[in-house]
Amino acid sequence: MFEYDFMRHAFAAATVVAVLSGLVGYFVVLRGQSFACHALAHVGFTGATGAVLLGTTPLWGLVSVTVAAGIGMGMIGDGLAQRDVASGMILSLSLGLGLLFLHVYTAFATQATALLFGNVLAVDTQTIWSLLLLSAFSLALLAFISRPLLFASLQPELAEAKGVSPRWLDILFLVIVALATAESVQIVGVLLVFVLMVGPAASAQRLTTRIGKALLLSLVFALAEAWCGLTLSFYTDWPTSFCITALSVAIFVTAQLRYRHLTRR
């Protein structure tokens, strides 16, 4: 299958996105921000449709709008409950705008389907370099805030007492989540972005409580889902997004069964 350019491009793009999603997703699950990730994916759909309407690249529409929404969620939401309310309001507004953009520009319907369900086989070299650049920036920012982020996630009251600003950490982290979400949309689409962002991390946390090991497992699971999903799709002609989703669910169910077995012993 590597004789084909589109498969080499797909594997390259999936690798970049899986690495970012696996690492960022661990903190998403740890901080209980899965709904924010889900909301940002739908916000990205509005950004992409708006970008096409303006005649620009959908990827950069995805990135700019999701980052703006992430900053908005971080500024509005103070605490888990208010954060979910802020995420829900921004999600509702973005879906309404996305519907409006589709109504105005009906010729975008075919591209909209690709955004909703992903089309990694259509990724070109320019997109791969864009994804690589965004991933490098996101991982560098994550590395920069990782220690205070872990501190604030595990001991929020103590972290605040020590002078760690939870609001700014939340804003910066949601920017990283927004970038990772925008990238994941290129692989599995808006509707299934939850699979790459949350699935591997949730499975890893069911298998270990050690932070380093959980991060590594989350990364390995994300890469395995992306690579095996592409391979399965190539040889079966099934949709790539479905294959990745099925593998993610299978890994999570296995991890959940393993967790229940260990807790009953």
pLDDT, tens digit only, all 265 positions of the chain? 999 999 999 999 999 999 999 999 999 999 888 877 878 877 877 777 777 777 777 778 888 888 888 887 777 755 554 556 666 666 667 666 666 766 666 555 556 566 666 778 888 898 899 889 999 999 999 999 999 989 888 887 787 777 777 778 888 998 999 899 888 887 877 767 878 889 999 999 999 989 999 999 999 999 999 999 999 999 998 988 889 999 999 999 999 998 887 777 6
- CB neighbour list of residue 12: distance below 8 Å, 6 or more residues apart: 123, 128
pTM: 0.84
Residue 19: the pLDDT is 95
Give the residue among 183, 171, 181, 176 at the shortest CA–CA distance from 142: 176
Q: Are 188 and 245 spatial neighbours (Cβ–Cβ below 8 Å)? A: yes
Q: How far apart are the first and last CA of the chain?
A: 45
The three-point CA angle 179-143-173 to 5° equals 40
Residue with structure tokens 């920017």? 175
* Helix-then-strand count for the chain, H and E: 11, 0
